[in-house]
Structure 1
Amino acid sequence: MCCTDMALAYVEAHAAWSEANTRPSLGRDYAAFVSRAADGAARAEFAVEGVRCAACMTAIERGLADLPGLAAARLNVSDRRLSVTWQPRAEADIAAVLAALEGLGFTAQPFAPGRASDAEAAEAKRLIRALAVAGFASMNVMLLAISVWAGNVSDMPPENRDLFHWIQAVIALPAAAYAGRPFYEGAFRGLRAGRVSMDVPITLGVVLTLVMSVVESLSGAAHAYFDGAVMLLFFLLIGRVLDQTMRRRTRACAENLAALRSERATLAEPDGGLRDVPLTELVPGARILVRPGERVPADGLVEHGSSELDHSLVTGETAAVTVRGGERVFAGALNGSGALTVRVTASAGASLLDEVEGLMRRALEARSRALVLADRATRLYIPLVHAAAALTLAGWLAAGAGWHAALLDAVAVLIVTCPCALGLAIPAVQVVAAGALFREGVLLNDGTALERFAQVDTVVFDKTGTLTLPESTLCGGTITPAALEAAARLALSSRHPMAAALASAAGPVEPFPGAQEAAGLGVRALVDGVELRLGSARFCGAEAESAAVLAAHPDASVICFRAGEGAPAAFPVRQALRPDAAEVVATLRRSGRRVLILSGDRSAAVEAVATRLGVVDWSAGLTPQDKIARIEALAGAGHRVLMVGDGLNDAPALAAAHASLSPVTAAHVSQAAADALFLGRSLVPVLAVLAAGRRARRLMLQNLWFSAAYNLVAVPMAAAGFLTPLIAALAMSGSSLVVTLNALRARATTPRPDPVLPDGGKVVELPALPSAGGVA
């Protein structure tokens, strides 16, 4: 029955894998995947399969360096995206790049966000199916193996023992052939390209164990090692699935930025006609029409019309900005209520949105080049494993042992050193720590970020939506209850965030019927013959009242109300600080970390928040480029920066920082660029990720040291002939169990000695940084 089930599972899984991995052909027309910069340099991106570690990055970048006309090749290990740049006026030869990658042992295709997502989903399904097959086979083979072990110490006839061995072979051989494909293919690609990857010792160990088991079964030996081979694959696939689960999906950055980009534009021709054109036809000086609800397709200056735009890409402020003739607009901004005629100032590929995308790409590529713990361990591990097995085989042959005995001991070395513990050492901690952070209200995007969180000594905050709550609130103003209710009812007919703040301040009310919104100005309604207005100071004739409110509340915005010819009223509206912002900042400073505020908002608003929080180092009015420049300057001075931000303009800075964190209410692009997201109104998750990072990194190091110590003890014993392949497999399984149990310690909650905050939360007390400035 086991054999039948195993065969059916194998056939069904193989058919599903074949279907999932059938890709549509890209054809030979690669022109759509090449972009040209202003200086004539060409650029293309590729999705590369088979990338496992930093060694793959080095092999690919060096292997492409000699292609004609190529200026640079940079691989982002996290999302396996390769960026290739050709020299100005050099012909972009995508086919040559694909052929070179094939020669290096990697398969690739021009990058398209949808295809990258599909390929990643197919790979995840493939690994899970392989894990299921290996687990199913392990259970059945182990049941048979236990029967053989019991029979070897009792009176089991040799014929029965041999039958059990062959039943194990019938289950284990097809299961290993399917479940081990991710490792076999990786080893074959590497060897074909002249590289030795971690998959090579795994493949050698599994294949030699299976071959030796078949030979032992043919000779009627007392032991076969099919159980060791499938158990080995089972544990290795656990590590591979965990790694795949925690792998950063930074392709979401490209997808979210693409969502901000219009594919076409409405061109206003000199004769007054309108024509729908692709962005590539827009040149500086062209006039385009941007209708309400559309995104601005290119950077430009408003010639006619007025409206409200979401300019958060530039300033970080989510409040809509009123634009009129002569004012600048940027590609990706969402047009609110009025039609605009815009004169283009930057052609496609040279807009601010393109610049932000380039900043993010370069920052992510730079981050991916940093070797994490697992990569450094891998570089040392592979040559040592092969050397140990080869020396064992040669040593026993030189000592006069036969090929059979020498090969058994060499196989035992390969099995006992197979990187199950090493493969689980990092991913297991990452998964457990991610679960612990989830209970703290933090969603971890990238498992490798735990190591970076542990090293942070400087924390940079954005202001709007990060130190402050995302929603605006009314913070003053004098008006009668009746007038406040009327203003709130008008506010319900407006989409402006400040109107929402006014509506919520008045409690449950109903909107006025027939209220109309004036594009870029406000909302009006005729009630009992009296015109009510709510909106800008100019719209309500409340310039003097607005100036007085701004003088009293320099960090606020103003919304005005007027009923007929009565006296207008002005209301200050601002985003309140998160309830525990001051306590969190104070805790960070007590732990020895430097705290800064970098914001695109007005200087008065940023200064008011910095003063309330006791932050001395702050800057206002910063562009995305300015924020990256400040973060890079801090990094150049030896600081490890945690960036906490939420706006579109924060996305490049989040990618450039050593580690990054965003509220879950952040813009989608910022969510994709951040290492982790936090829920709720509290800032305590900032402290939680730093504490969890230090704890996780400590456990990772402990697991790696244990793996090293295990190998130092087990390898000499296997080489000396004290361990059979079966005992080696059990020792390997035991080491995997130890590192997994140690990883579970990452679930421990951090002590919270600080007093309870007004909203019921607590502040995590962080350990102080070492006096020398380094972080363990």
Structure 2
Amino acid sequence: MTSDYTPRQDFSAFLRPNEGGGERLDLLVQGARCAGCISKIEGQVRALAGVDSARMNLTTGKLSVGFADAGGDPALVIETLDRLGYPATLFDPAKSAAAHDAEGRRLAMALGVAAFGAGNAMMFSVPIWAGLFGQELGPAMRTMMQWMSAAVGAPCAIYAGMPFFTSAWRSLKARRANMDVPISIGVLLTLAISFVETVLGGADTYFDAAVSLLFLLLIGRWLDHRLRAKARSAAGDILALQAPVAAVIGGDGQEHRRPIADIVPGDLLLVRPGNRIPVDGRIEAGQSSLDNALLTGETAPVLARVGDTCRAGALNLTGTLRLLATATSEDSAIADIARLVEAGAQSRSRYVQLADKAAALYVPVVHSAAALTFAGGMILGMGPREALLRAVAVLIITCPCALGLAVPAVQVSASARLFRRGVLVKSGAALERLAEIDHVILDKTGVLTEGRPRLVDPVPAAVALAAPLARASAHPLARALALEAGPTIIADKVIETPGQGVEGFIRGRRARLGRAAFVGLTGAGHGETELWLAIEGEPRIRYVFQDKLRADAGATVQALLARGLSVEILSGDGTDPVRHVAEAVGVTAWRAGLTPAEKAQIVAQRTAEGRRVLMVGDGLNDTAALANAHAAMAPGTALDASQNAADLVFSGEGLDAVVTAFDTARTARRRALQNFGFAAAYNLIAAPAAMAGLINPFVAALAMSGSSLAVTLNALRMGAGGGRRWTS
């Protein structure tokens, strides 16, 4: 007696503890392409017994499934996904990247085949078209040309159309209709009727039209793939800020190098000056100044002593530290920011394009009209061939090309215009979101200001006195002082006291550069943006630094307010610097000393209040807020992770690009709505005409192409206007 029982795979070893209790399993899901896919996957998985949560990230392909304490069945989750048409495996970032690269190669190959097929099928179609204008081909020659066009165009169309065919089939299995459904049906029916016409010796064949349509659509699909590749790199750029290895002090007191992924809480780590903190930890010995600018946006270094907590990603400036690791690399502050960015990218993937919404109505209406046309023709006594030609004409003339081009054509034109103005648009959908914003959140350091401290009212003689000590220090203010001085000697016998200052000999005289107390002054204040110099036999000199405001920061804020937008400043910097900048630019709503999570939380709070937020930031502490905002911008000087999390990146020293981008986005929205209106009016007129037999498939193809040309020409009106080009 045999059994059909197949043992299920045991996934218990791959379950990880969840923060809120229970366990979590991360899976790599293949084939998900749109918000409908996400809704279907999350809904079906969440309905399974023992499953608490299901969160799908379209950008990375990762599905995080949370199981209750009572437990669930991971194998059942994978079986459910497979039944839905989305095969899943255990999540591996390397496999995710490989799958994404493989998809890119498939799209590129399909695009190349479509380009080849369109060009070569057209070569055989042109003589047939010429026959319509008095240059008649003989029946044998025309049939040969049709078969040659079929031999080239049909195989290329089938291969190039596979991305659309598979997507349409998956959508229909999920009982939904995306834009790929009418495209697939239109292409397949066009090929079928063309073959029938060729066999019966008819005059209407459209092999070249089918493959040309796929070529144009594949360009958009490949560009979408590239945009998603950019989006997925934001979290990776953040995690790359962690050191790949850490110096661990073993039980024998010796230093050992160990991959950061192998660090566990309780390990004793050694962090030298110039290195980044590998994982979150508590200082057991030593003290130093830490540069937390990437994490918090705080411009002034922070003094860290025994007992203080250090966050992964902070730069150790001055002293050697011994840290007791309190978290793994996956649970560090850097990893938390990366998770916030990933969550923001996931929320963006839920943005439903207007064209996809229209498809839900378009598909049943148009296909029902084509079916009724065929049935009506048969009832009226037409032959099957004539009735089918009339039905195909309905499908061709109502092909959603104009609808599909309505937004992308405008986005391309608007993006080109912004590029000439120094703004790089990374996502076409970002322009739609940018046009909808009503609240702007600005970071201070690097956005409203230039992001680098500069000496206020420098006196050359005083700068020259301090330069030898400044060149010997890694402190940001000392580096700014050395930059102001230019090339000079370095002090002798230099000793740097973490968090206080640097001491040495300048031409034989003892000198100190640092805090007021370090040079022997009491009651002189503790300014974080000042340095004092004390040289034997000389009066003490004070150096004041300031992060200079962008020249057009105030004008930009006023321009945003004039457009009816509310403006708010969120910064990780100290209270006094933020207050000073807010007063200078005329912003009354501001908050200082914020962590990355707090910034993202405020963005989420504004969103919950019904606001549509534009976040403009440049630091690592801004990436989570950028990813969760309705739209996001970053300057070209921003951290790579911030640029990847943003939708638009602007170059140059000016902030006016924010206003330019907003105005352009508003104009683009008007053009897109005009295109939608034209596409709707066109279909309302063209479909009844085709159903009545007033339009044959050839004229239908011309009309369909004309409608696409019309929306494209309207979109090109966005390209007017010059200006400066993008500069990095």
Give the structure-1-normalised TM-score: 0.85
Could you tell me which residue of structure 2 aligns to residue 19 of structure 1? none
The CA distance in 2 between the partners of 1:136 and 1:586, in whole Å, is: 53
Residues 113/281 of structure 1: CA separation in 2 closer, same or farther (3 Å cut): closer
Q: Secondary structure at the match of 2:587?
A: coil
Structure 1 residues 347, 144: closer, same or farther in 2, change over 3 A? closer
Match among 271, 280, 283 for residue 290 of structure 1: 271
Which residue does the alignment assign to 2:713? 741
Q: Aligned partners of 1:33 and 1:702: how far apart in 2? A: 52
Q: Which letter maps to 2:44?
A: G
Q: Assess if the C-alpha contact under 8 Å between 2:239 and 2:334 holds in 1.
A: no
Q: Cα RMSD (Å) of the superposition? A: 3.0
What secondary structure is seen at the aligned counterpart in 2 of 1:729?
Answer: helix
Gaps of 5+ in 1: 1-27, 551-555, 753-759, 762-776
The range that moved more, 487-496 or 714-723, is: 487-496
> SS of the counterpart of 2:153?
helix
Partner of 1:574: helix, strand, or coil?
Answer: strand
State yes or no: 1:133 paired with 2:113.
Answer: yes
| Aligned counterpart, 2:122 | 142
Cα-to-partner distance string for 1:59-90 (whole Å, 9 max, x where unaligned): 22223223343222223345554333233463
Deviations 1:167-215 (CA, angstroms, capped at 9, x unpaired): 1111112211222121122233334555543323222222222122122
Contact 1:542 1:568 in 2 (8 A): no
8 Å CA contact 1:131–1:234 kept in 2: the answer is yes
Letter in 1 for 2:65: V
Tell me if structure 2 keeps the 8 A contact 1:78–1:249.
Answer: no
Q: How does 1:12-411 map to 2 (within 5 A)?
A: 35-78=16-59, 80-88=61-69, 90=71, 93=74, 96-151=76-131, 153-192=134-173, 194-247=175-228, 249-262=230-243, 265-268=246-249, 272=253, 287-346=268-327, 349-411=330-392
Match of 2:532 in 1: 560
**CA distance 1:98–1:428, change in 2 (3 Å):** farther
8 Å CA contact 2:496–2:503 kept in 1: the answer is yes
Residue by residue over 1:616-646, the C-alpha shift from the partner in whole angstroms, topping out at 9 and shown as x without a partner, is 1111112223223322332232221111111
Distance 2:421 2:70 in 1: 53
Counterpart Cα distance in 2 of 1:286 and 1:243: 44
Q: Cα distance, 1:39 vs. partner?
A: 4.2
Q: Deviations over 1:494-553 (max 9, x none)?
A: 3332123212333x3334275746263544443332234334445444555554xx4xxx
Correspondent of 2:505 among 526, 533, 536: 526
Aligned match for 2:490, one of 503, 512, 534: 512
Choose the corresponding residue for 1:664, options 628, 633, 636. 636
In structure 2, distance between residues paired with 1:265 and 1:510: 35
> What is the Cα deviation at residue 581 of structure 1?
0.5
Give the Å deviation of 1:285. Answer: 5.5
**Residue 612 (structure 2) pairs with residue 632 (structure 1):** no
Q: For 1:425, which of 391, 397, 406 is the aligned residue? A: 406
Cα deviation for residue 267 of structure 1 reads: 4.5
1:79–1:249 CA contact under 8 A, matched in 2:
no
Shift of 1:699: 1.6
Q: Aligned residue for 1:623?
A: 595
Code of the aligned partner of 1:663: P
SS of the residue aligned with 1:454? helix
Counterpart-to-counterpart distance in 2, 1:738 and 1:515: 75
Residue 490 (structure 1) aligned with residue 469 (structure 2): yes
Question: Secondary structure at the residue paired with 2:593?
Answer: coil
Deviations 1:120-158 (A, max 9, x none): 344334334433332333233334323113335444221
Q: Which residue of 2 aligns with 1:768?
A: none
Distance in 2, matches of 1:409 and 1:115, equals 48
Structure 2 residue identity aligned to 1:487:
A
Partner of residue 626 from structure 2, selected from 651, 654, 660: 654
5+ unaligned residues in a row in structure 2: which ranges? Answer: 1-8
Q: What residue in structure 2 maps to residue 5 of structure 1?
A: none
Aligned to 2:454: 473
Q: Aligned pair 1:644/2:624, yes or no?
A: no
CA gap 1:180/1:619 in 2 versus in 1, 3 angstroms: same
- Counterpart CA distance in 1 for 2:292 and 2:534 is 28
Q: 1:119 to 1:89 in 2, by over 3 A?
A: same
8 Å Cα contact 1:41/1:88 also seen in 2: yes
- Whether the 8 Å CA contact 1:113–1:251 is kept in 2: the answer is no
More displaced 10-residue stretch of structure 1: 730-739 or 143-152: 143-152
The amino acid across from 2:479 in the alignment is: A
- The structural deviation recorded for 1:394 is 2.3
Amino acid at match of 2:510: E
| 1:535-574 matches, cutoff 5 A | 535-542=514-521, 544-545=523-524, 547=526, 550=527, 557-564=529-536, 566-574=538-546
Post-superposition Cα deviations, 1:646-679, rounded to whole Å, max 9, x if no partner, equal 1211111112222111112222322222121111
Query: Contact 1:411–1:725 (CA<8 Å) still a contact in 2?
Result: yes
SS at the partner of 2:240? helix
- Structure 2 distance, partners of 1:298, 1:46, is 26
Identify the match of residue 445 of structure 1 among 426, 445, 451.
426
The C-alpha deviation readout for 1:355-399, integer Å capped at 9, x for no partner, is: 333333333333332323233223322222322222222222233
Q: 2:300 touches 2:529 (CA, 8 Å); kept in 1?
A: no
Equivalent-residue separation in structure 1 for 2:260 and 2:487 (angstroms): 45
CA contact (8 A) 1:48 1:82 kept: yes
Deviation at 1:306, TM superposition (A): 1.8
Q: Please tell me whether the aligned partners of residues 341 and 623 of structure 2 are also in contact (alpha carbons under 8 angstroms).
A: yes
**Does the CA contact (< 8 Å) of 2:117 and 2:211 recur in 1?**
yes
Deviation at 1:567, TM superposition (A): 3.2
For 2:495 and 2:114, locate their aligned partners in 1 and report how far apart those are by CA, in whole Å. Answer: 64
> In 2, are the aligned partners of 1:247 and 1:447 still within 8 Å (CA)?
no
Letter in 2 for 1:51: A
Determine if contact 1:523/1:534 at 8 Å carries over to the other structure: yes
Q: Which amino acid aligns with 1:64?
A: V
Task: Say which is worse superposed, 297-306 or 33-42, in terms of deviation.
Answer: 33-42
Q: Hey, what does 2:3 align to over in structure 1?
A: none
1:144/1:115 CA distance change after superposition, 3 Å: same
Contact 2:690/2:696 (8 A) holds in 1: yes
Q: Distance in 1 between matches of 2:381 and 2:649?
A: 62
Alignment TM-score, normalising by the size of structure 2 = 0.90
Query: Do the aligned partners of 2:52 and 2:66 also contact (CA within 8 Å) in 1?
Result: yes
Corresponding position: 1:727 with 2:708: no
For residues 33 and 653 of structure 1, what CA distance do their matches in structure 2 show?
31
Secondary structure in 1 matching 2:64: strand
Q: Is the 8 A contact 2:179 2:356 kept in 1?
A: no
User: Secondary structure of 2:230's match?
Assistant: coil
How far apart are the structure 2 equivalents of 1:657 and 1:328? 30
Measure, in 1, the Cα distance between the counterparts of 2:608 and 2:138.
73
- Distance in 2 (CA, whole Å) between partners of 1:92 and 1:542 is 68
1:353 deviation in Å? 3.0
Q: Contact conserved, 1:308 with 1:337, CA < 8 A, in 2? A: yes
Q: Distance in 2 between matches of 1:248 and 1:696?
A: 25
Matched, 1:606 2:570: no
Asked if the contact 1:240–1:423 (Cα under 8 Å) also holds between the matched residues in 2, the reply is: no
How far 1:293 moved relative to its partner?
4.0
Identify if the C-alpha distance between structure 1 residues 641 and 62 changes in structure 2 by more than 3 Å, giving closer, same or farther.
Answer: same
